[in-house]
Structure 1
Amino acid sequence: MRIAVAGATGNIGARTATALEQAGHEVVPVSRSLGVDLITGDNLDAALGGVEVVVDATSYEAADPDDAVARFGTATRTLLAAEERAGVRHHVLLSIVGIDRIQGNAHYAGKREQERLVAQGPVPWTIVPFTQFHDFAATVISWTEQDGVAPIPPLLVQPIAPADVADILAEIATDAPQRRYRDIAGPEPQDLVDMARRTSNARGHTVKLVPTWSSLLGTEAAGNVLLPSEDARIAPTTFDEWLADLRRTRT
């Protein structure tokens, strides 16, 4: 099967492309760095020639909700229109558990717009909501750290391994469109501050963590807001197993 992966050079997109290739599929990588632009549409029609399925694993970080909505909206409209012209039969969207319960986060505002456009669009679709990834704590540190100090919101999450995300996306891409898929999460709830501490230790990175709510993810994300539904699909890799792999890569 010929499958395009939008965001193919990113954290999840690259892994998904590899998972699909290992399963014997022909993968078309779609990324601005590879000359295919979802904002302008440059080279997109050529890239989607003969493609049956598109996996959208694109991401865009923005501090302003209007900017995020505009960016995600433009890219999604452009991609869906090109898919319709190419006769694509299945659009698979990587999304996030809990985005409808948190209004103040710019990235989540953009993802809600992306979901809305896909659900109302011309291409049969599956929206796949995942919980935060195992490397989310490290990502938050990279956003917030200054002079060796990193504010960390005390979130309760149920993180999932990026490799598991990629494998599941690859599986769903080769199935029929299912509209909204059930929540997908890792095996165990975790405290983000503790995740940040353990991840930093595994990376050999010295940083002072300061638990605090911020504009990144404020108190509206407290409690069970970011946890999956009771009928969630549970991926196999634990946070401890992921940390062990992280330590091995350092040695």
Structure 2
Amino acid sequence: MKIVVIGGTGLIGSKVVKKLTDHGHEAVPASPNTGVNTLTGEGLDEVLAGASVVVDVSNSPSFEREAVMNFFKTSTGNLLAAEAKAGVGHHVALSIVGTEKLPENGYFAAKIVQEQLIEKSGIPFTLVHATQFFEFARGIADDGMVDGKVHVAPVRFQPIAGEEVAEAVSRAAAGKPLNGRVEVAGPEVYQMDEFFRQALAAWNDPREVVTDPQARYFGSVPGERTLVPDEGAATLGKISYRDWLAASGQ
């Protein structure tokens, strides 16, 4: 089965391509690096010819509110139009646990629009909602910097290894469309400020972590359960952050 992976040369996409290839599928990575640009439509018709499934794990190069909204509206619209033309039978997209719980966040708002476009497209689909990736932990800490300290809200946090996100996306791509969502999350639930205290200690990072109920998560203040799935709603990964950190050498 030919499966085109939009964003297939990135962190998650490259893992998805490998997993699908290992299971005998014709997994084709598609990105600006391979001559496919969903913002302009360049290369879409050619790469989608004969494709049964499209997986979209692409991401905006800018998280600025207007830029990220434009990216997901334009790229998703172009991609879905090309899929309809090519007769693609299943669209799989990676999104975030809690999008609808934090609509005032510019990135989350853009992902909501992306999901709405997919749901209204008429193309059978599956949405994979994941919690934050272990790989992004340092970036989250850096984003919380205020006066030389890392400010973090005392809310629930359940990060997951990118490898297990890719496994969930690959499983969805190889399966039948759900016309709905699946959720995946890490095996351990933390209080976010405590996670980062432990993480910075493991990184030998001397920065102080400040528990701040008003700390922003990429521009917005999350609620107690904004960033985690509802009880029993998600498939849980097996890789702990401690084990991932030891294996990755980060």
State how 1:42-57 maps to structure 2 within 5 Å: 42-57=42-57
Alignment partners' CA distance in 2, 1:48 and 1:122: 17
State how 1:97-246 maps to structure 2 within 5 Å: 97-145=97-145, 149-212=149-212, 213-214=215-216, 216-219=218-221, 221-239=222-240, 242-246=241-245
Q: Is 1:185–1:232's contact at 8 Å kept on the other side of the alignment? A: no
1:34 deviates by 2.3
Alignment partners' CA distance in 2, 1:99 and 1:105: 9
> Which deviates more, 47-56 or 179-188?
179-188
What letter corresponds to residue 54 of structure 2 in structure 1?
V
Give 3-state SS (helix, strand or coil) of 1:95's partner: strand
Alignment partners' CA distance in 1, 2:33 and 2:207: 32
Give 3-state SS (helix, strand or coil) of 2:134's partner: coil
Give 3-state SS (helix, strand or coil) of 1:151's partner: strand
Alignment partners' CA distance in 1, 2:10 and 2:145: 22
1:51 deviates by 1.1
Equivalences, count: 247
TM-score normalised over the length of structure 2? 0.89
RMSD value, Cα: 2.2
State how 1:15-34 maps to structure 2 within 5 Å: 15-34=15-34
Alignment partners' CA distance in 1, 2:16 and 2:64: 27
Alignment partners' CA distance in 2, 1:125 and 1:191: 33
What letter corresponds to residue 237 of structure 1 in structure 2?
K
What letter corresponds to residue 210 of structure 2 in structure 1?
V
CA gap 1:249/1:204 in 2 versus in 1, 3 angstroms: farther
What letter corresponds to residue 22 of structure 2 in structure 1?
Q
What letter corresponds to residue 245 of structure 2 in structure 1?
L
What letter corresponds to residue 97 of structure 1 in structure 2?
V
1:215 deviates by 6.1
Identity of aligned residues (%): 34
CA gap 1:204/1:27 in 2 versus in 1, 3 angstroms: farther
2:64 matched residue in structure 1: 63
What letter corresponds to residue 216 of structure 1 in structure 2?
F
Where does structure 2 lack aligned partners over 5 or more consecutive residues?
A: none
Q: Is 2:126–2:182's contact at 8 Å kept on the other side of the alignment? A: no
Give 3-state SS (helix, strand or coil) of 1:181's partner: strand
1:63 deviates by 2.5
1:202 deviates by 3.4
Alignment partners' CA distance in 1, 2:8 and 2:162: 14
Matched, 1:36 2:66: no
What letter corresponds to residue 135 of structure 2 in structure 1?
D
Q: Is 1:202–1:247's contact at 8 Å kept on the other side of the alignment? A: no
1:78 deviates by 0.6
Alignment partners' CA distance in 1, 2:205 and 2:173: 37
Alignment partners' CA distance in 2, 1:134 and 1:226: 14
Alignment partners' CA distance in 1, 2:146 and 2:246: 24
What letter corresponds to residue 243 of structure 2 in structure 1?
A
Q: Is 2:184–2:237's contact at 8 Å kept on the other side of the alignment? A: no
Q: Is 1:5–1:27's contact at 8 Å kept on the other side of the alignment? A: yes
What letter corresponds to residue 119 of structure 2 in structure 1?
A
Q: Is 1:140–1:152's contact at 8 Å kept on the other side of the alignment? A: no
1:146 deviates by 7.8
